[in-house]
Amino acid sequence: MITIKEIAKQLNMSTTTVSNVIHGKTGEVSPETQKKVQDFLDKVDYVPNISARNLAQNQSKIIGLALKARADKYENLIMDPFVSELIGGVEETIRNAGYFMMLYISSDTTEIMRHVSTWNVDGLILFGMLDDDGIRVSEKYKKPIVCLDTYSIEGLKHFTNVGLDDEQGTYDMVNYMIVKGHKRIAFLSDNQSGVDLARLNGYKKALADGGLKFKQSDFLKIRPKSDEIQDSLEEICRKAKNFDAIMCVSDLYAVTLIAALTDRGIRVPEDISIAGFDDNMLGQLHRPALTTVHQDVKKKGIVAADTLLKQLNGQKTPNQIKLPTHLVIRDTVRA
């Protein structure tokens, strides 16, 4: 691990000169010395010490990707194909821009913020924030933040959010179900806030526009914790008799539900139609192939990272970026 100081000593020159060559400030140094340094550099393959650089420049070249895990979903979070696709998109974009990515998963916002400030992280991508988190974050942290799939959180409103046209997505799908003759359509999710709420609203709107009435019992709540999910599915499958179709809030839940239904002799789509949301490999590899709402998760990650990079360069970015969705009609909704 050779240092600039050491190089300067061996070459009988000052650290400034070496540093200038390293940073390509060609105007500041004569061609001869330039070459001399460059040759030496090639020989010893010098690697800068980022800690020292960070200290001197008060920046870190780190972008933090903080995933807030709901306690009841932690085990699922990292397994969800959604998350890994997202990470893939973000990591690639960040790396290509010469930044580094630090991944932090926690259910404790305070902990996340401590982590971020010790490392003097240059920018932050936040996923899974809700309720009062926003205020605490924006109090502590004064650098660029991009949120992902975050709806109207007080205190985060002045940050850019990269999201999806969730409402339109479920609207289109439920509308499609109605057109195909389904009347009793349920909605399945594990909560009613944020993204899930938006998708629920799209579903309700489609019902209303189709002349159907939404009843509280049309909302099916799934409890994803591993010690509750079986009971939860049992209950949902019992209620399934009352419906022609179920709009699920994610592909994961759709596929999980279909498996549970199949185990109980209820056929999809003959007995009941099921649709998902995400269009990930879970549904693509499923047979019958899952009818679902497509979103480009990797793109979401790329756009989020790109937006943050723009902010880091001092550019303004819009308050909301909504990526489109489209229907992927396959085989789990009866035609």
Handedness of CA 89, 90, 96, 100 (dihedral sign): negative
Separation CA 106–CA 85 (nearest Å): 19
Under the criterion CB under 8 A, does residue 79 sit at the interface with its own copies?
yes
Half-sphere exposure of 250 (CA within 13 A, CB side): 22
Separation CA 103–CA 99 (nearest Å): 13
Q: Among residues 88, 155, 210, 224, which is the contact residue for its own copies, using CB under 8 A?
A: 88
Closer of 4 and 247 to DNA (Cβ) = 4
Separation CA 245–CA 31 (nearest Å): 74
Closer of 75 and 131 to its own copies (Cβ) = 75
- Which partner from the list its own copies, DNA, none does 328 bind, CB cut-off 5 to 8 Å by kind? none
CA dihedral 210, 216, 220, 222 (to 10 degrees): 140
- Which partner from the list its own copies, DNA, none does 29 bind, CB cut-off 5 to 8 Å by kind? DNA
Q: Is 161:320 a contact under the CB 8 Å cutoff?
A: yes
Q: Among residues 32, 287, 314, 316, which is the contact residue for its own copies, using CB under 8 A?
A: 287
Report the alpha-carbon angle 55-142-87, nearest 5.
80
How many C-beta neighbours within 10 Å does residue 113 have?
Answer: 20
- Which partner from the list its own copies, DNA, none does 81 bind, CB cut-off 5 to 8 Å by kind? its own copies
Q: Residue count at the site for its own copies (CB under 8 A)?
A: 49
Query: H-type helices in the chain, by residue range?
Result: 4-11, 15-22, 31-44, 50-57, 74-77, 81-96, 109-118, 133-140, 166-179, 194-209, 229-240, 251-263, 281-284, 297-312
Q: Is 311:123 a contact under the CB 8 Å cutoff?
A: yes
Under the criterion CB under 7 A, does residue 56 sit at the interface with DNA?
yes
Site string for DNA, 4-43 (x = CB under 7 A): xx------xxxxxx-xx-xx---xxxx-xx----------
- Which partner from the list DNA, its own copies, none does 281 bind, CB cut-off 5 to 8 Å by kind? its own copies
- Which partner from the list DNA, its own copies, none does 30 bind, CB cut-off 5 to 8 Å by kind? DNA
Q: Which amino acid is at 121?
A: V
Site string for its own copies, 20-49 (x = CB under 8 A): ---------------------------xxx
Q: Among residues 281, 318, 319, 324, which is the contact residue for its own copies, using CB under 8 A?
A: 281
Q: Which residues of 156-193 are buried (b: 16+ CB within 10 A; e: fewer)?
A: beebbbbbbbbbbbbbbbbbbbbeeebeebbbbbbbee
Under the criterion CB under 7 A, does residue 58 sit at the interface with DNA?
yes
Closer of 10 and 110 to its own copies (Cβ) = 110
- Which partner from the list its own copies, DNA, none does 15 bind, CB cut-off 5 to 8 Å by kind? DNA
Q: Is 303:323 a contact under the CB 8 Å cutoff?
A: yes
Strands of the sheet with 219-221, listed across from one edge: 219-221, 185-189, 245-248, 273-278, 291-294, 326-328
- Which partner from the list DNA, its own copies, none does 320 bind, CB cut-off 5 to 8 Å by kind? none
- Report, in Å, the least distance between residue 59 CB and DNA: 10
- Report, in Å, the least distance between residue 30 CB and its own copies: 28
- Report, in Å, the least distance between residue 298 CB and DNA: 32
Q: Which residues bind its own copies (CB under 8 A)?
A: 1, 47-52, 54-55, 60, 77-81, 83-85, 87-88, 91-92, 95, 100-106, 114-115, 117-120, 255-256, 258-259, 262-263, 280-282, 285-287, 289
By CB under 7 A, name the binding residues for DNA: 1, 3-5, 12-17, 19-20, 22-23, 27-30, 32-33, 46, 48-49, 52-53, 55-58
